[in-house]
Amino acid sequence: MVAVVVERADVNGKSYRLPTSHEIAMATSRAKLELEKLREIWIEDLPLIPDEELPYLRSIFNVHVYGYRTWASLFTARQLVTVCAFVIAVRSIEGSIRKRYEETLGDRIDQFVAAVMTLSACVVDRVINQGNAFTRWNNVGEKAEGIFARQALGMLWDFVEVNPFAGATGGVDGALAWVLKVVQRNSFPASADVILGSSERMDVIADKTVDAVVTDPPYYDAVPYANLSDFFYVWLRRMLGSIHPDALAASETPKRSELVQLAERNKKYAYKTAEFFESGMSRTFGEICRVLKDDGICVVVYAHKSTGAWETLLKAMLEAGLVVTASWPIETEMGDRLRAQGAAALASSVFIVCRKRDSVSDGFLDDVEPALQFRLHERLDYFWSQGIRGADFFMSAIGPAVEVFGRHKRVLKLSGEEVSIAELLDKVRGIVADYALQRIVHGEAAGNVDEASRFYVIWRWAFGTADVESGEAIHMAQSMGCEFDELVADKGVLNKKGDKVNLKGPVQRQKVKGLGAPAATGTLAPLIDVLHRAANLWAAGERQELSDFLAAALPPEGSDRMHRLAQSIVDVLPPGDKERGLYENFLVGARSLPEPTKQDDLGFKQQELF
């Protein structure tokens, strides 16, 4: 223990101090003595302290190499003593509940007991989310972050131990408030039957009997849901094993048929390949279509920025006979979550509404494309008016595009070749980029922007400074008429590291030799290259060199175009951004540059410039 965080009700903010010897003893030696007593306690056929083995998944669950072997090992001695006390408390309330309410509730007492104990266990599970040795301290927000803030379990070198009774983040009070909020907002008079089973084989549900299906499907290897949930499951099993014997009979959550790609993570899951995931998704949507009434609806919630994810989802839906009839981007993600920080993460989830397809006819691309353009522009106008921007704007356009595309069993080119989902998504990306550019660069000026500069503006608008998967960058480049290899070359605007790509701003390109100079053939450089070099020369105070460079690098009308490009980038960058500040300063002073040196006076200096 290196520090204690102190929060007082009568003082704003937090203070920090060194721990006392008593506090250190309570957290270590005293806690270990209590823990030894608890090791002797068993709940039916289970030890009170969970000794179930931790999973290993490369790059996701890798704490084994540091000696963590069981779920219990993720807690300090004091944390284990605390959680075990909660477990015992939840199990002990059954008798008192029956005694107090049995006469009033009669034959409904079993349901009431199960409900109260289950909700109490949920409170405990929420407490342990931030009551373990992998709880990180958020230095900015000065609060505890849960163990799965990154949806993975990697080594954490320092952690915060939360006092669950202090009224701070991660405590019992907050956990109880969250659970009560859910109960209050989701209490309905109608009853429901919960069926545990596989989405690929819903044998207990007859054909055409379901009014609505709502699903938030997984994506390849993004999140190993079952393995993550075992962290909570092992404790739920100890609290509720007798209340939900069917659901909690197994030692861990079922994983064999879970639709997730894990073949590369652990050889025990060698069968869980990409093909395993894709075929399972197809079977699932086939089952959804089977059980859905002819006038029923299916709502699919999706929040992935990856083209591959969307391609798999849409292919499965369309092949099953479902057609998109509406789609709505809804802000569902917490902007301050750890996963969103520094990443090209989405703030919105797209809610896709599907129905069974009536049409079985084919359509031709030449006929479908005008309808696609019209529908997309119609919806993009609306999405823009609602303030949807960046990566969310791209994703929001997919639903309306599939509305048009899915009206036909197949969409064919004149050659008879079927248009693939991947090709559709490329078209969507291109249409959205053109639309956004018109909005950002303002009208006709957008048509005068070269491909590389268009790419730069749209990337900054969509992803900012975040890393993006190289596959997505390739698709985006292709849809905007750019060569990816040129973009990642030394003089290009992209920096590629592994399978991630990010955009290089002017500072990252200031040492590129000849940046922005016309080619030997006289071909002008992309406007973004000229702007970057100009901004760097301005920042360096090289006013005369800047004036000479612009005179050589730009055509007569090029100066205004460059200024519009710079202003467009300023408009999409957040206040306080360094690149934005560089352009703002450049725009203020660039119109008062000295006259360029006359051609006759340049001599050798002009040659050195390039």
Q: Could you read off the pLDDT of 63-105 as tens digits, one per residue?
A: 888 999 999 999 999 999 999 999 999 999 999 999 999 999 9
Query: Taking 80 as the threshold, does the pLDDT of residue 468 lie above it?
Result: yes
Q: Rounded CA gap, 407 and 318, in Å?
A: 10
Q: Rounded CA gap, 491 and 502, in Å?
A: 14
Tokens of 161: 């131990």
The residue written with tokens 């007859």 in the block is 206
At residue 607, the pLDDT reads 38
At residue 443, the pLDDT reads 55
At residue 534, the pLDDT reads 95
DSSP assignment of 108-156: GHHHHHHHHHHHHHHHHHHHHHSSSTTPEEETTTTEEE-TTTTSSB---
Of 290-294, 325-329, 345-349, 415-419, the range with the lowest mean pLDDT is: 345-349
Task: Give me the helix-helix angle, 398-405 and 421-441, nearest 10°.
Answer: 130
Question: In what side-by-side order are the strands of the sheet with 210-215?
Answer: 210-215, 292-302, 348-356, 322-331
Query: Taking 90 as the threshold, does the pLDDT of residue 23 lie above it?
Result: no
pLDDT > 70 in the chain, percent: 94
Q: Rounded CA gap, 81 and 67, in Å?
A: 21
At residue 604, the pLDDT reads 37
Q: What is the mean pLDDT of residues 123-137?
A: 93
Asked whether the beta carbons of 320 and 289 are under 8 A apart, the reply is: yes
At residue 171, the pLDDT reads 87
3-state DSSP call for residue 453? helix
Query: Taking 80 as the threshold, does the pLDDT of residue 40 lie above it?
Result: yes
Q: Rounded CA gap, 319 and 441, in Å?
A: 39
Does 370 or 389 have the greater pLDDT score?
370
How does residue 437 score in pLDDT terms, banded at 50, 70 and 90? confident
At residue 603, the pLDDT reads 43
Helix boundaries (H) for 270-364: 274-291, 307-320
At residue 220, the pLDDT reads 86
At residue 333, the pLDDT reads 58
For 290: left if phi > 0, alpha if psi spans -120 to 50, otherwise beta; the answer is alpha
CB-count exposure of residue 18 (10 Å: 0-12, 13-18, 19+): exposed
How does residue 188 score in pLDDT terms, banded at 50, 70 and 90? confident
At residue 406, the pLDDT reads 85
- How do residues 257-300 score in pLDDT, each as one tens digit? 999 999 999 899 999 999 999 999 999 999 999 999 999 999 99
Of 107-111, 218-222, 313-317, 368-372, the range with the lowest mean pLDDT is: 218-222
Residue 79's nearest CA partner among 195, 19, 20, 164 is 164
Of 214-223, 307-316, 474-483, 516-525, the range with the lowest mean pLDDT is: 307-316
Query: Taking 80 as the threshold, does the pLDDT of residue 62 lie above it?
Result: yes
How does residue 599 score in pLDDT terms, banded at 50, 70 and 90? low
What phi and psi values does residue 549 have, to the nearest 5 degrees? -65, -45
At residue 505, the pLDDT reads 95
User: What does pLDDT average to over the chain?
Assistant: 88
At residue 608, the pLDDT reads 40
Query: Taking 60 as the threshold, does the pLDDT of residue 535 lie above it?
Result: yes
Does 312 or 181 have the greater pLDDT score?
181
SS (H, E, C) 145-164: ECCCCCCCECCCCCCCCCCC
| CA 72 to chain CA centroid, nearest Å | 29
Asked whether the beta carbons of 142 and 154 are under 8 A apart, the reply is: no
Does 361 or 232 have the greater pLDDT score?
232
Tokens of 73: 């090992």
How does residue 447 score in pLDDT terms, banded at 50, 70 and 90? low
H or E segment and range at residue 426: helix 421-441
At residue 346, the pLDDT reads 52
Q: Rounded CA gap, 353 and 326, in Å?
A: 5
For the chain, state the CA radius of gyration.
30
Q: Rounded CA gap, 120 and 88, in Å?
A: 12
Query: Taking 80 as the threshold, does the pLDDT of residue 500 lie above it?
Result: yes
3-state DSSP call for residue 46? strand
Q: Rounded CA gap, 559 and 557, in Å?
A: 6
At residue 14, the pLDDT reads 85
Q: Rounded CA gap, 431 and 371, in Å?
A: 13
- How do residues 340-372 score in pLDDT, each as one tens digit? 444 444 557 889 999 998 877 899 999 999 999
At residue 332, the pLDDT reads 67
Query: Taking 70 as the threshold, does the pLDDT of residue 337 lie above it?
Result: no
Q: Rounded CA gap, 168 and 58, in Å?
A: 34
Of 213-217, 326-330, 381-385, 427-431, the range with the lowest mean pLDDT is: 326-330
At residue 344, the pLDDT reads 41
